[in-house]
């Protein structure tokens, strides 16, 4: 059996708000082999985004270990962490965070360009990815000229541009109605399968959750397999 590509053990995360302490993750364990899809369900406020941020190195736990591809993310220097964030993981956030002054191609190519891919090559890859998320007809549209679902598809293409092994997707609820939100999530599943990515996806949709190889409920600071 291969070593897991993702392994979280004893992860504790508590937010402080003035004197108040808000325990969110309470010794959480999680692991995933490479190339499989895991789905996390959980109520609003249960800590799903918090958990994805820890896996993606955007935040650090108070206790516990977050091992990604054999290295402890919590122990990486800022420099190494930024390389990790731009190369090893692709993020599709709950809100799209596209840059409003950039068109679709420019938004998608940016992470590649920032990490040293020549401009022309980054642009060509961005166009290919936009085609694979069915955005071929909107390459030069700006975010304000796109629908909510289209913006999320651009965000999906952007998450894939640096060919990360791991794709982290937080429910694309932004301004999307249920139909569009499900369509984007379905697209993420099929791309993850096509490209053999390790996917961790958060969704509210119990039906779509069945699509995952593994399913979990985040409840009371712990993950329960379903
Ligand atoms: N920076 C912060 N400071 C204080 N509390 C925070 C902070 N970030 C998140 N929280 C609290 O931690 C809890 C978990 O937040 P999180 O965003 O992880 O929830 P979630 O499961 O993603 O919810 P949703 O489904 O609504 O997106 C929430 O109650 C939130 O108010
Ligand atoms: Mg969230």
pLDDT at 48: 95
Question: Does the beta carbon of 49 lie inside 6 Å of ligand 1?
Answer: yes
Measured from the CB, is residue 15 less than 6 Å from ligand 1? Answer: yes
Q: What is the mean pLDDT of residues 66-82?
A: 92
Least confident of 52-56, 59-63, 145-149, 169-173: 169-173
Q: How far is the CA of 225 from the centre of ligand 1 (A)?
A: 21
Categorize the per-residue pLDDT at 177 as very low, low, confident or very high, splitting at 50, 70 and 90. confident
Residue-level pLDDT at 175: 66
pLDDT of residue 174: 62
Question: Are the C-beta atoms of 200 and 169 separated by less than 8 Å?
Answer: yes
* Residues around ligand 2, an ion, CB closer than 5 A: 49
Domains defined for the chain, CATH in brackets: 35-48+77-214+221-225 (3.40.50.300)
Q: Tell whether ligand 1 has an atom less than 6 A from the beta carbon of residue 50.
A: yes
Ligand 1 proximity of 14 Cβ (cutoff 6 Å): no
Query: How much is the pLDDT for 28?
Result: 98
Ligand 1 atom 26 nearest Cα: 44
How many CB atoms are closer than 10 A to CB 52? 24
Residue nearest atom 3 in ligand 1 by C-alpha distance: 15
Spacing, Cα 15 to ligand 1 middle (Å): 9
Report the 3 state secondary structure along the chain.
Answer: CCCCCEEEEEEEEEEEECCEEEEEEEEEEEEECCCCEEEEECCCCCCHHHHHHHHCCCCCCCEEEEEECCEEHHHCCHHHHHHHHHHCEEEECCCCCCCCCCCHHHHHHHHHHHCCCCHHHHHHHHHHHHHHCCCHHHCCCCHHHCCHHHHHHHHHHHHHCCCCCEEEECCCCCCCCHHHHHHHHHHHHHHHHHHCCEEEEECCCHHHHCCCCEEEEEECCEEEEC
pLDDT of 96 strictly over 80: no
- Name the token pair of 79: 């420099």
pLDDT tier for residue 123 given thresholds of 50, 70 and 90: very high
* Residue with CA at minimum distance from ligand 1 atom 10: 15
Contact predicate 31/194, CB 8 Å: no
């Amino acid at each position: 059996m291969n070593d897991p590509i993702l392994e979280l053990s004893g992860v504790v995360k508590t937010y402080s708000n003035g004197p108040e302490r808000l325990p969110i993750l309470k010794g959480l364990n999680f692991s995933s082999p490479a190339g499989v899809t895991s789905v996390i369900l959980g109520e609003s406020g249960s800590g799903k985004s918090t958990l994805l941020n820890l896996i993606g190195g955007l935040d650090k736990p108070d206790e516990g270990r977050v091992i990604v591809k054999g290295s402890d993310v919590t122990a990486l220097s800022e420099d190494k962490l930024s390389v990790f964030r731009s190369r090893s993981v692709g993020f599709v956030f709950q809100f799209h965070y596209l840059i409003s002054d950039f068109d679709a191609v420019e938004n998608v190519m940016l992470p590649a360009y920032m990490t040293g891919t020549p401009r022309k090559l980054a642009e060509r890859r961005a166009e290919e990815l936009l085609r694979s998320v069915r955005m071929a007809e909107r390459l030069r549209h700006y975010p304000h000229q796109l629908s909510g679902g289209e913006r999320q598809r651009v965000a999906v293409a952007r998450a894939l541009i640096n060919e990360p092994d791991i794709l982290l997707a937080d429910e694309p609820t932004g301004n999307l109605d249920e139909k569009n939100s499900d369509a984007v999530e379905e697209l993420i599943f099929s791309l993850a399968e096509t490209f053999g990515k390790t996917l961790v996806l958060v969704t509210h949709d119990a039906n779509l959750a069945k699509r995952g190889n593994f399913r979990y409920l985040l409840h009371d600071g712990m993950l329960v397999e379903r």
